[in-house]
Amino acid sequence: MITSSIAVIIPHFQRQQGLLAKALASVFAQTCADAVHVYVVDDESPVSAQSEVDAHPEFPQHQLTVVRKSNGGAGSARNKALDQVLPDTAFAAFLDSDDEWKPNHLENAVKVLSAGSDAYFSDWWSFNFPDQTNFQRIGALRPEMHKQVSDGPAGFDLGVSPIEHILHDGGGVIQTSTVVYRFSKFPKLRFREEFYNGQDFFFWMDLGELGAKFAFSMEVDCHNGEGINIYQSAGWGTERSLNRLRNELFVWTSVRRFYK
């Protein structure tokens, strides 16, 4: 039984009703839901977070904090949530407001982290690729090439720094909505808000620079949904794809500024 406190961080900006409610339902359906406190940050969303919460009185209100802020992007919204997390919280987990967790996700993460790692991520499924999981599609991780660190679920040591994994494995396979990390060890770490996208890449690399050891499992713990997403909505040849390309060039040409 998991008794450690877990902060769940959800940035919210959606135009479709019901997405956040599904995400929250998946949090409160966790096998260790009693150990969870959820922080939802409404980033001036067209569909307000509070309206989604009010429509579902069955959600445990004492485990739920909703904060509204001026629009600043997912990184600043996550930072706002991290600023609210109580200092005695053991772990922090990220979930986007259009994604959903399988019921064992947090329990799996804490079990793997209890073997000595500082950050955990898992496989996930996206509506864009119905026939393959993310790990299968990218092919960057082979469990037989990694040291196993835990059973039930099988957890594996990433074995390299997040920088090496991200830069050498085609961008890596660390999906934000599957990440759980040891908040008690890195309580001051925040996302780099100067980047419109790619803040999560920098957050993983910053964790690595602080000495965090990453582990992963092959469990498909998350369903990546079809809400507002700056990557999936940027079809090639569109104006949004050009904005995405500009933003990505800014991200990857900035790496040398931060890491030796």
Q: What is residue 128's predicted lDDT score, i.e. its pLDDT?
A: 80
Cα–Cα distance for residue pair 8/10, rounded to 1 Å: 7
Q: How confident is the model at residue 2 (pLDDT cuts 50, 70, 90)?
A: low
Residue 169 predicted with pLDDT over 90: no
The confidence score (pLDDT) of residue 237 equals 64
Q: Distance between the two ends of the chain, CA-based, in angstroms?
A: 41
Q: Residue 3 pLDDT more than 70?
A: no
Whole-angstrom distance, CA of residue 121 vs CA of residue 23:
18
Dihedral sign, CA of 140, 131, 155, 118? Answer: positive
pLDDT at 117 over 90: yes
> What is the pTM (predicted TM-score) of this model?
0.92
pLDDT of residue 204: 97
Please state the rounded mean pLDDT for residues 56-64.
Answer: 96
CA atoms within 13 A on the CB side of 234: 14
User: What would the pLDDT profile of 82-112 be if each residue is shown by its tens digit?
Assistant: 999 999 999 999 999 999 999 999 999 999 9
pLDDT value, residue 251? 80
User: What does the alpha-carbon distance between residue 206 and residue 104 come to, in Å, rounded to a whole number?
Assistant: 27
- Identify the pLDDT of residue 235: 57
Please say if the pLDDT value at position 68 is more than 90. Answer: yes
Q: H helices then E strands: how many in the chain? A: 8, 10
pLDDT reported for residue 244:
75
**pLDDT of 121 higher than 90:** yes
**What pLDDT digit, counting tens, does each position of 186-226 carry?**
999 999 998 877 899 999 999 999 999 999 999 999 999 87
Which of 69-73, 140-144, 175-179, 226-230 is least confident? 226-230
Q: What is the pLDDT of residues 127-168, one digit of tens each?
A: 888 889 999 998 889 999 999 999 989 999 999 999 999 888
Give the Å distances, CA to CA, from 56 to 22, 52, 63, 83, 107.
10, 7, 14, 26, 24
Q: Is the pLDDT of residue 231 over 70?
A: no
| 124 has pLDDT over 80 | yes
Q: Cα–Cα distance between 219 and 122 in angstroms, integer?
A: 6
In which band, very low, low, confident or very high, does the pLDDT at 70 lie, cut at 50, 70 and 90? Answer: very high
Reduced to 3 states (helix: H, G, I; strand: E, B; else coil), residue 70 is: coil
Residue 239 has pLDDT above 80, yes or no: no
